[in-house]
Chains A and B, each alone.
Chain A
């Protein structure tokens, strides 16, 4: 009797595992794992893609212990404010313990690794390259700590390398630069390379080796060059790889002494191009070369191209299919109006400032912003830096673009009110949370009172990420948000007058959050200590610099964790318990 019931259970588990193979969404899998123990086991055995939103939320051992068969791993490290120098450089997010664990646990299964804001060493990369023979895809975003030597190890040892994407990383290039491109085995065999992105590796590359590599990579579809590649060299590479879909053009600049090849024909011949970026040292005179490719473009990144309105207009009027557009504010409101006229399918817009200082006026304003809202009704995501804005323009966008999921407005001047009415910007942001019912990410700026946060708490029910700086009046502001936004996961606040009372109002919710960041606010150590004692699975890191008194909190970085607090924190970090 027992044997047959054991068999029945086994059959059930097999069926379960087979069925669970079809579950790909991690949220579905998390839910399935909570049903009962056998579902937990089956799910763990069948999960092949693991996402870890905070590298300190779980230890490598726990992760590898639970999931024995991973094919891909995605880990995020430092919080976003680390990008703006708000954290000490040696704070943590070290990848080494993970590298060791992965090398040991997944030698025959791990194929893909995606790291964001992690700190990796060349040793880590070398270890991976030796330990994971099936390794195919490496995607490093906003990470640092490694050099060209680490890249060379990957190139040499990963025979199946398919994707090597380095996005906005800080690669140390000052001492002993290694010719990593030459480290790809230089044989007559084809490589498996599909994507090679290295625009952030800021040192010259061996162009001959690069050209040979591209020539023997027939599967290459994405190539993003760094600024040391000239137009003439780009032309040769495009000739070698006419099937590219994503191209980062490198410098897009030429010496006057070189005879000019026909750049436009190279772009005309690249009929598969849908995504263009680069333009790192752009000579605007060469812009017409890309005209033949514009009609097919879905994504265009001009955010390193210092071009004016007329120069942009000459390009953008061809770009009817554009969905993603990143640009500098050097194009002015006039340039944005041209975008609004042509790019009816635009989903994502980012406008970065050339001049990041606080000024009275700037090249873009509520005029361009409102024009975009009128012309690009399908807009889902916007990041907009400006020196002046009005509530009316923000309200207009809330009405014209109801599909907005991400709304990030950065009025560079701190505490700046509505430029016309001198009112706070409360009503504008209020309209956004009220009218954009799909909104999950919000970043606010300008002069804001507690009222704005009242709106967010009342209407921002789907918000998962909220970014606040130099805003609010009293604890009430933060209270509204912590009590009103049930889906809040990531909350980053700086230089705002929120204190202990506000912190306590979130006690019911902190275990549901990935992290809370509060810097230069009004917290006291005592209140943080209380929270640490009340919620034992929260880790509260306090980072103070010398000028802070012992009781004050410079930075509070707080996150949930299944394991003991980390032991790799630098001296400047205090972990409360």
Chain B
């Protein structure tokens, strides 16, 4: 069994060849794409091109396939002559960027440990442009955690990650149901009146705000640290949060 670059039918054709574009709106499961499908399942999406046409090749010999981005399958920075002669005509070697199952051979519990943490020798105050570490504390939890806000692209992603990090500590609190969707204002107000946990953050001005009141990018820039507190305690933050919003807009 070989999973590798199959010859894609979406090729670079010379002008003299006929290409019949049927515009059938096929989602790529049509005949032309069946070989590419196996490739897709292994996550080779960078080398595919979207197609809604069926290419009929009339009495023409197939050309050599070229990956959409023209990359050498092995994506090496330098290629020596020796290496080129080792290229098999039908390589079982996927492009270097593709995610490969089980490679490298690191056990999943090790991989998961560090999914959210990158190596950083600096304290959270000195952040490189690529990382934005802030301390996260949760009322009642025995120790602090750190998160890199730049790892996430939206509030739900952050909420998810925080929920996973601290979910264990909500087991004893039977009232808590973990994190709620805090982009909805009325839900937020409900939250503040309950004893569920609410995420708050300290911004650059030193004020404590409710998480979710500003656009995500603004939040990442201004957040200095996070604190997950009981909803009842966060009640005082709501009016300030609203006022700050008014000042910004």
Q: Are B106 and A549 in contact (CB under 8 A)?
A: no
Stretch in contact with the other chain, from B44-52, B93-101, B205-213: B93-101
Q: Are B106 and A85 in contact (CB under 8 A)?
A: no
Q: Are B142 and A203 in contact (CB under 8 A)?
A: no
A473 interface hit (Cβ, 8 Å): yes
Interface string of B88-130 (1 = CB under 8 A from A): 1000110011001111111111110110011111000000000
A residues 438-474 near B (Cβ < 8 Å) are: 447, 449, 467, 469-470, 473
A276 to B97, CA, bound (A): 38
Q: Are B101 and A358 in contact (CB under 8 A)?
A: no
Cβ of A81: which chain B residues have Cβ within 8 Å of it?
102, 105
Given A417-B80, A423-B80, A256–B144 Cβ distance below 8 Å? yes
A414 interface hit (Cβ, 8 Å): yes
A21 to B186, CA, bound (A): 76
A554 to B42, CA, bound (A): 13
Given A414-B103, A423-B82, A497–B88 Cβ distance below 8 Å? yes
Q: Are B118 and A355 in contact (CB under 8 A)?
A: yes
Given A204-B168, A414-B93, A417-B76, A255–B106 Cβ distance below 8 Å? no
Cβ of A363: which chain B residues have Cβ within 8 Å of it?
119
Interface string of B40-81 (1 = CB under 8 A from A): 010000000000000000000000000000000010111110
Q: Are B105 and A352 in contact (CB under 8 A)?
A: no
A495 to B120, CA, bound (A): 34
For A, the interface residue count at a CB cutoff of 8 angstroms equals 72
A308 to B121, CA, bound (A): 6
Q: Are B114 and A230 in contact (CB under 8 A)?
A: no
Contact among B38, B100, B107 for A414, CB-based, below 8 A: B100
Cβ of B142: which chain A residues have Cβ within 8 Å of it?
228, 230, 232-233, 251, 254-255, 258
Contact among B80, B120, B121, B168 for A422, CB-based, below 8 A: B80
Q: Are A547 and B38 in contact (CB under 8 A)?
A: yes
Q: Are A522 and B107 in contact (CB under 8 A)?
A: no
Chain A residue with Cβ nearest B172: A204
Cβ of B24: which chain A residues have Cβ within 8 Å of it?
none
Contact among B105, B113, B171 for A177, CB-based, below 8 A: B171
Q: Are B96 and A358 in contact (CB under 8 A)?
A: yes
B14 to chain A, nearest CB (A): 32
Contact among B41, B76, B105, B108 for A469, CB-based, below 8 A: B105
B237 interface hit (Cβ, 8 Å): no
Cβ of B10: which chain A residues have Cβ within 8 Å of it?
none
Cβ of A360: which chain B residues have Cβ within 8 Å of it?
77
Chain B residue with Cβ nearest A385: B104
B132 interface hit (Cβ, 8 Å): no
Interface string of B191-204 (1 = CB under 8 A from A): 00000000000000
A358 to chain B, nearest CB (A): 6
Interface string of B125-153 (1 = CB under 8 A from A): 00000000000010001111100000000
Cβ of B103: which chain A residues have Cβ within 8 Å of it?
84, 414, 469-470
A177 to B172, CA, bound (A): 11
Chain A residue with Cβ nearest B137: A255
B174 interface hit (Cβ, 8 Å): no
Contact among B77, B119, B145 for A281, CB-based, below 8 A: B145
Q: Are A355 and B114 in contact (CB under 8 A)?
A: yes
Given A522-B2, A554-B1, A255–B76 Cβ distance below 8 Å? no
A469 to B97, CA, bound (A): 17
Given A228-B168, A354-B114, A549-B1, A412–B104 Cβ distance below 8 Å? yes
A554 to B92, CA, bound (A): 13
B242 interface hit (Cβ, 8 Å): no
Contact among A200, A228, A385 for B106, CB-based, below 8 A: A385
A373 interface hit (Cβ, 8 Å): no
A416 interface hit (Cβ, 8 Å): yes
A-B contact pairs, 9 of them (CB 8 A): A84-B102, A170-B109, A203-B171, A255-B137, A329-B119, A330-B121, A424-B82, A469-B103, A547-B41
Apart from A81-B102, A470-B93, A547-B37, list 15 A-B contacts with CB within 8 A.
Answer: A84-B106, A168-B107, A228-B142, A230-B142, A255-B137, A354-B119, A356-B111, A412-B104, A414-B96, A415-B96, A422-B83, A423-B82, A520-B1, A522-B2, A552-B1
Closest 5 CB pairs of A and B: A552-B1, A84-B102, A308-B121, A230-B142, A330-B119
